[in-house]
Structure 1
Amino acid sequence: MSYLLAFVCVMLFMVIGEWVSTLTKAFIPSVFVTAILFLVGFWTIIPKNIVTQASFSTPFITICISILLVHLGTLMNLKELLLQWKAVCIALLGVSGTLILTLIVGTWLFNWHTVIASIPPLTGGLVAALLMTNGLKAAGITTLVALPVSMYVLHSVIGYPLTAVMLKRESRRLIKRFRTNTETNQIHTETHVSKIDARKSAQLIFNLPAEYQTSAFIIVRVGIIAILSNWVASLLNNTINANIICLVFGVIAHQLGFLEDNALNKAGVFNWLMYGLLAYIFSQLSLTTPAVMGNIIIQIIVLIFLGISGMFIASWLLAKPFGMSREMAFACSLTALFGFPADYILTTEICHSIADNKNEEAFLTENILPKMLVGGFATVSIASVIIASVFLKLI
């Protein structure tokens, strides 16, 4: 019974988040609402291990991440992925802006160790936060042990609504251009149809009768690509992050016809896996308490303000040289505050809320989602880990 109660509670938080997002037309993102519910819950009556009790344990999440990223590769093609080098540059330069401003101004306001402990989780995700936490413990700086995780908790909560505002502005700009340019509209419709036809023809690699194209068969193929991706990453000593290889190999497998378009949705398991991954991400909010947060809240808020200001300045200055709108450039930089899967959920929610039909939604998704995904990988999966490794030596 306790496992069922835990499961229903976790999913109820997801439902409330989705309903609020729908009611506000994605002005308040679902991930923001759900994060607040988990945070308040952990600080009041909800058990710290509720997500694990709900069946979303670490082994399950390890599987989720790899196969979801392979699945995302089935939503784009290799050419589209390679064209996103500008988004990578913008995201990384936005992180550079964070580093510069927080190091210059932050060290003037606070002591050296406080700033050094805060920057890696500010420029990335949970891995960077945990690396810095362990580093502080090893160095005997116990007064700051809670700072990295607390920074991780708060900066993502602030990042969700801010990114949503930028993406809504970009979506409205794109959809206005799409609606007023009937020629572009027609070209996109024809291109979208031709892509679907090409994908259908490419899926004849197995040429099996429909009754054999089962959900299990799709999941097995996605799993094979995920295993191959992680094996290649291990051969490279993780010089290239396994998550990036999963995405790239997913794109290649899709192009070759080994995986069908939108694979996990066709298998009927995409939403289940995404909810599990989100639940695990939100479970990290249990690592802090109101008392701990109260002691370091000023430092966190000031450093988050400096960090986001650095991203804003860098992306606003570099948007035009890289041929992007300022809103899109800033949104790419902001992926450093949360990464996958929040970047995927925020983007798809907003594209759905702004579009009036499936064709408009497809147009927005194709123009925004690849940039957000690669931006998140560049910052959270690569840059933040490198920054944390360097900053550990500076403690």
Structure 2
Amino acid sequence: MEPIYAAAIILAFIALGELVSIWSKARVPGLLVAMLGAFIASQLGIIPTTTVDDSMLVQIYAILVAPLLFHMGSLIPLRTMAQQWRSVVIACAGMLVAVLIMSVTIAPLFGFETFVAGAGPLAGGIVATGLTTEGLTAAGVASSIIVLPALVLMMQSLPAMPMTNFLLRRYAIGLRDSGDLEHLAAAAQKTEESAKKKPITLPDFLANNELFVLFMILVGGSVATLISVPTHIPSSIIALILGIASTALGLTPERAMEKASSFGIAMAGVVAVVMAPLLAASLDDVLKALVPMVSILLIGGAGIMIGGFIATKLLRWKSTLGMSVALTAMYGFPADYLLTNEVARSVGRNPEERKQLTDAMLPAMLVGGFTSVSAGSVVIASVLVSFL
């Protein structure tokens, strides 16, 4: 198949997923629709099983994966992460406890490769899933295991989002009725409006030039790849650290790939890498992966909540907010943003109260989601895959 036709087919499924996600207010995950639709179409013979390979999107992923991780480091300012350090600690605790519990349950039950296949995707988003899928494929594991990361990614938000809605709603009602709302909202607003002065300030004609920003991102990815060879540290981890440092210094702007208008094509490459095993898999492979998938979701999800609860108690936060922050590992942005706004809208009794609730909850939820989905899960996936 011509690459342009194959790429259009893959993007059609991704676009359909996005439309369904927007229509359902993120209750139905877009990736679930995209990947399930592509799998069904391939099983019915509507599209070839080689559609992903024909689309050349995998090659785009190979070029842009390190720059994409560099971009991930630019998403949340270092100052905001430092001020929301409790959210960072809670998110990390949730992920670590989940991985620990899975290592002593999933690994003995289903094998180490199955544990690796589920740990990274459960603790994060599509980038970690792409890294895991790539590592499993390179290690030559069974096809029924290679499809597991995609299945976990597709299904992980279904139990996590209703639970977050329940916990966050309880927290918001307690906050509204306790009299602490105005104080917390003011503190959150102050955090958001804190100064963003940086050591280096690029002139506007460079900072706003898409090709220059893209060049800087590719330099960051190239440096990460170069450093990874002698150090044996995964280039994904180095790229993430370089992205955080470069953004903090002012060498590259926040949300760098979006500034360079290249984020969409990079994410399409990641989706293609995750989708490829599903198109090539048989129905039997998927059925064999269902029991491990359900086990990973239940055990890993429980581990995330336990870790979040313990860290919340140690930090003397409200457990309902802490566990909500921990659960962002299972869906990330934009679901964390949409859930917070939905709860604030339903609990707040007037526009001012709704805004105060949003200001009080949103920074913690966003930083928690970034810590787990964009950063922590990448580290977990990179480390675990290295043991295959």
1:266 correspondence with 2:262:
no
Counterpart CA distance in 2 for 1:204 and 1:389 is 36
| Residues 194-218 of structure 1: CA deviation (Å, up to 9, x unaligned) | 44xx35xx4963436x388421011
The TM-score with structure 1 as length reference comes to 0.74
How far, CA to CA, are the matches of 2:360 and 2:224 in structure 1?
A: 29
In 2: Cα distance, 1:266 partner to 1:358 partner: 28
| 1:288-316 per-position Cα deviation (integer Å, ceiling 9, x unaligned) | 21133345644654565445445555544
Counterpart AA for 2:225: N
Matched AA of 1:258: L
Q: 2:237 aligned to 228, 233, 244, which one?
A: 244
1:91 to 95, 113, 136: 95
| Alpha-carbon separation, structure 1, partners of 2:299 and 2:269 | 33
C-alpha contact (below 8 Å) 2:188/2:360 kept by paired residues: yes
Report whether the alignment pairs 1:285 with 2:272: no
The partner residue of 1:120 within 116, 125, 132 is 116
Judge which range, 358-367 or 13-22, deviates more: 358-367
Counterparts of 1:232 and 1:211 in 2: how far apart (Å)? 26
- Aligned partner letter, 1:100: V
Mark the CA change 1:314 to 1:180 in structure 2 (over 3 Å): closer, same or farther.
Answer: closer
Which structure 2 residues correspond to residues 162-181 of structure 1 after superposition, within 5 A? 162-169=159-166, 172=169, 181=181
Partner of 2:50: 49
- Spell out, residue by residue over 1:92-119, the C-alpha distance to the aligned partner (whole angstroms, 9 max, x if none): 1111122233367x4xxxxxxx444422
On the 8 A contact 1:129/1:149 being kept in 2, the answer is yes
Aligned residue number for residue 156 of structure 1: 153
Secondary structure of 2:3's match? helix
TM-aligned CA deviation for residue 7 of structure 1: 2.4
Q: Counterparts in 2 of 1:1-395, with a 5 A limit?
A: 2-44=2-44, 45-58=46-59, 60-81=60-81, 83=85, 84-102=88-106, 106=109, 114-124=110-120, 125=129, 145-169=142-166, 172=169, 181-195=181-195, 198=196, 202=198, 205-207=201-203, 210=205, 213-238=208-233, 241-295=234-288, 297-298=290-291, 301-302=294-295, 304-322=297-315, 325=319, 328-329=322-323, 332=326, 335=329, 343-344=332-333, 346-347=335-336, 350=339, 366-376=363-373, 380-384=377-381, 386-387=383-384
Preserved contact between residue 56 and residue 279 of structure 1 (Cα < 8 Å): yes
5+ residue gaps in structure 2?
A: 121-128, 346-353
In structure 1, what residue type is equivalent to 2:67?
I
Check whether the contact 2:72–2:243 (CA below 8 A) recurs between aligned residues.
Answer: yes
Cα shift at 1:326? 5.3
Shift in Å at residue 191 of structure 1?
A: 4.3
Equivalent residue letter for 1:123: A
Give SS of 1:320's match.
Answer: helix
RMSD of aligned C-alpha atoms? Answer: 3.9
- Tell me how far apart the structure 2 counterparts of residues 46 and 120 of structure 1 sit (CA, whole Å): 30
Aligned partners of 1:91 and 1:378 also within 8 Å: no
Q: Contact 1:70 / 1:251 at 8 angstroms: preserved in 2? A: yes
**1:229 counterpart letter in structure 2:** A
| Alpha-carbon offset, residue 73 of structure 1 | 2.4
Give the whole-Å Cα distance in 1 for the aligned partners of 2:194 and 2:292: 53
Deviation of 1:56 after TM superposition, in Å, equals 0.7
1:276-335: per-residue Cα shift (whole Å, max 9, x none)? 322322223224211333456446545654454455555445542355645754764784
Relative to structure 1, the CA distance from residue 136 to residue 5 in structure 2 (aligned partners, 3 Å threshold; closer, same or farther) is closer
Which residue number corresponds to residue 109 of structure 1?
A: none
Report Cα offsets for 1:343-363 as digits up to 9, x if no partner. Answer: 445445656766779998787
What displacement does 1:190 show?
A: 4.9
* Contact persistence 1:26–1:353 (CA under 8 A): no
Q: What is the CA distance between 1:224 and its match in structure 2? A: 1.7
| Residue 367 of structure 1, CA deviation | 2.0
Deviation at 1:258, TM superposition (A): 1.0
**Distance across 1 between alignment mates of 2:312 and 2:190:** 30
Q: Percent identity?
A: 16
TM-score by length of 2: 0.75
Once residues 99 and 356 of structure 2 are traced to their aligned partners in structure 1, the CA distance between those partners, rounded to angstroms, is 34
CA displacement, residues 171-204 of structure 1 (integer Å, 9 cap, x when unaligned) = 6567775998344444544543444xx35xx496
**Structure 1 residues 146, 327: CA separation in 2 closer, same or farther (over 3 Å shift)?**
farther
Q: Deviations over 1:113-165 (max 9, x none)?
A: x444422212224655676677786xxxxxxx333224333322221323333
Question: Which residue number corresponds to residue 140 of structure 1?
Answer: none
The amino acid across from 1:13 in the alignment is F
CA drift of 1:47 comes to 1.7
Flag the 1:349–1:271 CA change in 2: closer, same or farther, 3 A.
farther
Aligned residue type for 1:51: V
- The separation in 2 between residues aligned to 1:291 and 1:308, in whole angstroms, is 26
What is the alpha-carbon distance in structure 2 between the residues aligned to residue 246 and residue 194 of structure 1?
Answer: 26
Following the alignment from structure 1 to structure 2, what is the Cα–Cα distance between the partners of residues 155 and 329? 20
Separation in 1, partners of 2:360, 2:268: 26
Tell me by how many angstroms 1:91 deviates: 0.8
Shift of 1:219: 0.8
In the superposition, relative to structure 1, how do residues 40 and 348 fare at CA in structure 2: closer, same or farther (>3 Å)? farther
Deviation string for 1:233-262 (max 9, x for gaps)? Answer: 333211xx3223222221221222211233
Q: Is contact 2:220–2:242 with CA below 8 Å preserved after alignment?
A: yes
Contact preservation (8 Å) 1:130, 1:148 = no
What secondary structure sits across from 2:227 in the alignment? helix
